[in-house]
Amino acid sequence: MPDDVLEVTGLHRAYGHVRAVDDVSFTLREGGSLGIVGESGSGKTTTARIIVGLERADAGQVLVQGRDRTGAARGRAQRLARAREVQMVFQDPYLSLDPRTSVEAVLRETLRLHFPGADHTRRVRELLDQVGLGTRAADALPRQLSGGQRQRVAIARALAVEPAVLVLDEAVAALDVSVQAQILNLLADIREQTAIGYLFITHDLGVVRCVTDDVIVMRHGGIVEAGPTASVLAAPEHPYTRLLLESVPRPGWDPDRIAAARRALR
């Protein structure tokens, strides 16, 4: 059995009287793919930010490959070491890419920071090939790339440090459906090649159905349902999970009925 690369136990985070994350626990195995779903305000993004280290938890523990990363990193070396364990890909890569920096320079800077003695030229070529861009994109600036291409650059940059866990926060939400499918297929290929663990943060049950093995459903900061993706989506037990499934537009979809169901769950 693969080892757990990520173990989250009893995570709590509050903002004043609002419990953004309330006693959240789960594990992600090596090479696994876990989805965290819920509507805006459910706590899924705050959970992801704590795991990556962008926010601090009030209580609980985050272990990555058995190492505790709950507290603040001490010094530059520990910050870099933690960054090599967990990387994040955001919804809009244009905001996280320097508009004045070429694709090759973006990748070289990441490699220089984490692997100062490595052959960066060879590794840049490998990364571009791995995400399906090729060396022709090396000299391009972010504004010269499509949304899908920019997301491939963001994925390449994250993979450059060879992380154990890749957190994808609504990483395909801003893309056209056809481009979404290409990026999701790319991520599936990379997972098969590298045994990296994926944590998908999304509101899109279609994404969850396509690319995750397991899923947890969050509402008001807590987990209301969890299990294998196929089982949860085929026979949801919690009313909120059923509501999320019913909220997906399809023939005969009644938005007024869905709105009434949401009010009843409050």
Rg of the chain, C-alpha, whole Å: 19
Q: Selecting from 3.30.429.10, 1.10.1050.10, 3.40.50.300, 3.40.710.10, what CATH number does the domain 4-235 have?
A: 3.40.50.300
Question: 76-115, pLDDT tens digit by residue?
Answer: 888 888 888 999 998 877 777 888 999 999 999 999 999 9
| Runs of H (alpha helix) within 115-200 | 120-130, 147-159, 177-194
4-15 vs 18-29, strand pairing mode: antiparallel
The reported pTM is 0.89
**Chain centroid, CA 155 distance in Å:** 11
Tell me the pLDDT band of 1, cut-offs 50, 70 and 90: low
Contact 234, 225 (CB under 8 A): no
Task: Give residue 248's pLDDT.
Answer: 64
Residue 135 DSSP symbol: G
Q: What is the pLDDT of residues 39-70, one digit of tens each?
A: 889 999 999 999 999 999 999 999 999 999 88
> What pLDDT is stored for residue 259 in this prediction?
43
Residue with tokens 């965290």: 36
pLDDT confidence bin for 254, thresholds 50/70/90: very low
Q: What is the pLDDT of residue 262?
A: 42
Question: Does position 250 have pLDDT exceeding 70, yes or no?
Answer: no
DSSP, residue by residue, 9-65:
EEEEEEETTEEEEEEEEEEEETT-EEEEE--TTSSHHHHHHHHHTSS--SEEEEEET
Count of beta carbons in the 10 Å neighbourhood of residue 224: 17
> What are the pLDDT digits (tens) for 152-194?
999 999 999 999 999 999 888 878 888 888 999 999 999 998 9
Say yes or no to pLDDT of 253 above 50: no
Question: Mean of the per-residue pLDDT values for the chain?
Answer: 88
Tokens matching residue 227: 């299990």
Q: Where in the chain is the domain with CATH 3.40.50.300?
A: 4-235
pLDDT band at 265 (very low <50, low <70, confident <90, very high): low
